[in-house]
Amino acid sequence: MIQFESFTLNNGLRFYVHRDTTTPMMAMNILYDVGSRDEHPDKTGFAHLFEHLMFGGSINIPRYDEPLQRAGGENNAFTNSDFTNYYLTLPVDNIETAFWLESDRMLNLAFSKKSLEVQRQVVVEEFRQNYLNQPYGDVWLLLKPLAYKTHPYQWNTIGKEIAHIENAVLEDVKDFYARHYNPNNALIAITGNVELEQVKALAEKWFGPIQPGLKPTRQLPAEAAQTEKRHLEVERHVPLTAIYKAWHIEARNHPDFYATDLISDLLGSGPSSRLHRQLVRKQGLFSEINAYITGDIDPGLFIVSGKLMSGTDPKKAESAIDKELEVFKNKPVRLQELRKVKNKVLSALAFSSISILNKAMNLCYYGYLGDANMVNQLADSYRAVDADQVQAIAKSIFNDSNASTLYYKSAQETTK
């Protein structure tokens, strides 16, 4: 149970406060309601590039990192398709330093040309390092546009292509900031040995004076229902051929979410799971195989991904996956198997509610989904999933007309 209190400032900024007396540290997590789904299709990679720029100095504070380090603090951030998340931890005695820093960069950024130039380069290197210069690095650059034709999830957070990042100009960046980085577009969680009144006073002092902006209305083109199987094959310089299959699933807030998550565990999370047992150990078709869901807020994807044993025909391997899914659809899962995956989840939930940073992140995330208290209902939500629900959802997801498949073929294998 994460006990917490919440309040909202006049400018719309939402706060969550959780008291944890067992630690000398505190965490502050700030979630801004802007992700790569909010980008223009010709100017992608912005939300993420912007995250980098947030560290280039704010209007009154030339450098963000140094004063935080001086106060014994550490910070980081991440961007995904749905939102941008900043977090820091520092000794609780220095709580005001956190408020001073975060409020200033919500107030206004320094916006220097130099900062943009450097971070553009840094992000280009990130693109190369993680997506282009690694084996299997560009899988998602291929899979997403295959599965999504209209919804902005079709491009990755890093951007559609390097050129979009290279062409970003300061005006675009300033405009992006003005639209999205406002108090009424953010949620903040504070966890640690803090008092509610103390946090309220600091919130009012540092964030209170910041004017709200025009809350951008999000009107994203919905992804039309897929009606036909999609297929893409590419050849790359990798040692093993890999297969990626994606099916459309419901949105995060849909009641099917928890059952769908458990389906991915039943099918492909670890050596006791179905796909591993059948396709890796028994049939020897795959060297490794996994199943997971993307967890996006708008309707996301269910993914099965695996690397084939050398010499295996991808068509044969894909058939084998489909066959296992048919078995799964047609026979209700046994109680013990369902209980197994639930127990694993319950264990993981217990561990995730230990660190003050995790707690702060979760409060913001579930607050963002609509109700921060959802974090305390997760265990029950998973417990409530039954075999009938699992079977019904499997039947609705695992159909060819809903599937996109990528054969990521090894050029080395082909030349053998």
Partner 1 sequence: MLNRHTAPPATTAARLHIEEPKTIHLANGLPVYCFCNNSYDAMRLDLVFDAGTAFQTKKLLASTTNNMLKEGTQKLTSHQLASRLDYHGAYLDLSVNKDTAWMTLFCLKRNLNYLLPLLKSMLVEPGFGEKDFEHLNSKQKNEFTVNSQKPKHLARREFNKRLFGEQTPYGQTAQLDDFDNLDTNDLKAFHKSFYHHANCRIIVSGPVDDRMMHKLGENFGDQWGNPGEVTGFDQQTSFQAGYHPIQRDGSLQSAIAMGKPMVSRAHPDYTGLMLLNTILGGYFGSRLMANIREDKGFTYGINSQLVSLRQAGYLQISTETGQQVTQAAIAEIRKELIRLQQETVGPEELELVKNYITGSLLRSLDGPYAQAERFKSILGQDIGMQYFAEILQKIKNTDTDQLQHLAKQYLDPDSMLTVVVGEK
Which residues from 191-250 bind partner 1, rule CB under 8 A?
205-206, 209, 237-240
Closest contact distance (angstroms) between CB of 303 and partner 1 is 19
- Contact set for partner 1, span 263-282 (CB under 8 A): 270-272, 277, 280-281
Q: Beta strands 403-410 and 230-236: pairing type? A: parallel
Min. distance of Cβ 111 from partner 1 in angstroms? 16
Smallest distance, Å, CB 69 to partner 1? 4
| Shortest spacing between CB 297 and partner 1, in angstroms | 27
Amino acid identity of residue 13, one-letter, is L
Chain residues 299-328 in contact with partner 1, contact rule CB under 8 A:
307, 309
Nearer to partner 1, 128 or 231 (CB): 128
Q: Least distance in Å: CB of 199 to partner 1?
A: 15
Rg, Å, the chain Cα set: 23
Contact 185, 157 (CB under 8 A): no
Q: Which positions from 355 through 384 interact with partner 1, judged by CB under 8 A?
A: 355
Instruction: Name which of 39, 18, 45 is nearest 29 in CA terms.
Output: 18
191 bridge partner residues: 18, 27
Residues with Cβ within 8 Å of 158's Cβ and at least 6 positions away in sequence, in order, are: 45, 48, 123, 126, 127, 130, 131
- Residue 219 identity: Q
How many residues in the chain?
A: 416
Q: Which one of 3-11, 134-142, 144-152, 172-180 is the stretch in contact with partner 1 (CB under 8 A)?
A: 134-142
Q: In this chain, which of 327, 335, 350, 384 binds partner 1, going by CB under 8 A?
A: 350
Q: Is 336 in the site for partner 1 (CB under 8 A)?
A: yes
- Considering only residues 62 to 121 of the shown chain, the ones binding partner 1 according to CB under 8 A are 65-67, 69-74, 89-91, 93-94, 96-97, 99-100, 103-104, 107, 117-121
Give the nearer residue to partner 1 in terms of CB position, either 39 or 104.
Answer: 104
Kindly determine how many residues on this chain lie close enough to bind partner 1 according to the rule CB under 8 A.
76
Residues 18-57, one symbol each (x = binds partner 1 by CB under 8 A, - = not), give ----xxxx--------------------------------
**Interface of this chain with partner 1, residues 153 to 182, rule: CB under 8 A:** none
Q: What is the per-residue burial (b if ≥16 Cβ within 10 Å, else e) of 320-347?
A: bbbebbeebbeeebeeebbebbbebbee
Choose the stretch contacting partner 1; rule: CB under 8 A; options: 60-68, 177-185, 296-304, 371-379.
Answer: 60-68
User: Does 339 participate in binding partner 1 (rule CB under 8 A)?
Assistant: yes
Stretch that binds partner 1, among 122-130, 227-235, 255-263, 382-390 (CB under 8 A): 122-130
Shortest Å, Cβ 328 to partner 1: 17
